[in-house]
Structure 1
Amino acid sequence: MSIARILIIAGSDSGGGAGIQADIRTVTMLGGHPMTAITAITAQNTLGVTGVHAVPVDMVLAQIDAVASDIGVDAVKIGMIGSAETANAVADRLEAMGDVPIIFDPVMIATSGAVLADAATTGAFARLMKIATVTTPNAPELAALTGRSVTTMAEAEAAAMALFQAHGCAVLAKGGHVPPTVRDGRALVGDLLVHEGAVVEYWNAWIETRNSHGTGCTLASGIAAGLATGLALQLAVDRARDYLRAALAAAPGLGAGHGPLGHALGRVPFDVMTGMA
């Protein structure tokens, strides 16, 4: 049996809403085999982050080497990176892997507002964008990476194009932090994919919910799962966005703050498979 192998390089979320935990669930639900190199351990829940402990660089690299040398890697998803030193070391390792799709989610700030990347780490993101197939910033991240204002989708498109021109990777500019666009009386959320110099627009009905913790992780891992099977980038983005919206709609409403998504889509997959549901 052949299965896509996705290496996830990211931080752990003790609340299970984002980070490695969301990545593993997403890749599993989309038919892949998730492998991990944990860059940081965080103490957090739906209300916020109360502690961060970075994993030493040599241990991050040891995790990457262990799985790559034995199991193999069909795609890589990078999330919270932990430090500038780790970012540069990971870039060196991934460059040596050759032609493997790399999805970089430039995590800087948690949904709760906690800062997860200092200035030096953010500065090192250029190395990762240089080797990435696609990077997936939200509006605040796009603004930080380009030094531009990103408060509208028009500004997001200009910033995404600038990032594409600067680093050469495709850019999926996520619009969830931008006020919804109203068309024909409907509130819409937009995402923009800048790929090979062209812009692909995605528009969907705005989902009003407090349960949005882990959306960026889920989307990036979903894209990685698609690229690992050989899907073209736009098709991988299409499927990942559809899955994300389904998981948002199925959120279980846990915690008092920004709750996790419903990655299992409100089902017990084993029970569905065996007819016990």
Structure 2
Amino acid sequence: MVPIALTIAGSDSGGGAGIQADLKSFSALGVYGASVITALTAQNTRSVRGIEAVSPAMIAAQMAAVFDDLAVRAVKLGMLGGAGAIAAVAAGLSGCAVPVVLDPVMVAKSGDRLLPQEALAALRSLLLPMATVLTPNLPEAADLLGCAPAGSEAEMGEQGQALRALGPQAVLMKGGHGAGADCVDLLITAEGITRLSAPRQVTRNTHGTGCTLSAAIAAGLAQGLALPEAVGRAHGYLQGAIAAADGLGVGSGQGPVHHFHAVWADG
């Protein structure tokens, strides 16, 4: 049977992030993707023009329909939009014994806020304890902790440990917002810290990088990989998707990464 992963996230009408990026990542890595849509966004590579939330009841109904029929092996959580959606997702995952990858989507690449400040408490109390791995970028980690973004690897490690103390089994601190020639991510688990580094690529086409990485981790977990192996493979996959992004030519703003860089033939 093909491994199945479920993404619970918002829809990106431009196709570069959210549900669309997750399903592309699942498919590129050999996993069947199911989806629960939490919000509709009207957006393109330049801006988010509108957001319409899906009701908590409909989110719960989608989750129940998927879990009643499909043998889901991993869940990825992305944009949830508000406290009501967070509560519905937490209730739907209660008693669900599969790995959960939580990408705390708060602000779009364009700078538009996707999670109200008042929903942070619900995210911390209800979903962080359910996470197999939490995957914040530096601003998201700071938002969750109520502090300034980390300015060094040492501070990244400290903030990752502080986030892990809030309940997730592991934290992947993403260094894409950092400075320097290399982009460094830190995977923080009970066993210690694993450093993942890659040369920082110069491109404006990085829309959906966070969604893509967390979905790729979920795909690996659905296929039975241990977390360090799933994170390592996802890291390499994302680097390839970023390297090939300029070849897509999608949109006139911050374009998407190339999810099918290893699948599509050249040209």
Which of the five TM-score ranges fits, normalised by the shorter chain? over 0.9
2:115 equivalent to 1:117: yes
Identity, % of aligned positions: 46
Unmatched runs of 5 consecutive residues or more in structure 1: 181-186
Q: Contact 1:250 / 1:266 at 8 angstroms: preserved in 2? A: no
Letter in 2 for 1:84: A
Q: Which residue number corresponds to residue 254 of structure 2?
A: 258
Deviation string, structure 1 residues 83-120 (Cα, Å, up to 9, x no partner): 101101211210222x2000000000001100000012
Deviation string, structure 1 residues 23-64 (Cα, Å, up to 9, x no partner): 000000001010000000000011110100000111111111
- Superposed, 1:137-216 pairs within 5 Å as 137-149=136-148, 150-180=150-180, 187-216=181-210
Q: Which residue number corresponds to residue 264 of structure 2?
A: 268
Distance 1:225 1:237 in 2: 10
Q: Which residue number corresponds to residue 10 of structure 1?
A: 9
SS in 2 for 1:90: helix
TM-score normalised per structure 1: 0.92
Q: Contact 1:211 / 1:253 at 8 angstroms: preserved in 2? A: no
SS in 2 for 1:52: strand
Q: Which residue number corresponds to residue 215 of structure 2?
A: 221
Deviation string, structure 1 residues 168-189 (Cα, Å, up to 9, x no partner): 4200000000112xxxxxx111
Greater Cα offset, 103-112 or 197-206: 197-206
Q: Which residue number corresponds to residue 28 of structure 1?
A: 27
Name the CA shift for 1:55/1:217 in 2 (closer, same or farther; >3 Å). same
Greater Cα offset, 30-39 or 244-253: 244-253
Q: Indicate the RMSD between aligned Cα atoms, in angstroms.
A: 1.4
Letter in 2 for 1:120: E
2:31 equivalent to 1:37: no
Unmatched runs of 5 consecutive residues or more in structure 2: none
Distance 1:112 1:214 in 2: 11
Q: Which residue number corresponds to residue 80 of structure 2?
A: 81
4+ long deviations beyond 6 Å: none
Letter in 1 for 2:152: T
2:61 equivalent to 1:62: yes
Count of residue pairs brought into register by the alignment = 263
TM-score normalised per structure 2: 0.95
Letter in 2 for 1:129: L
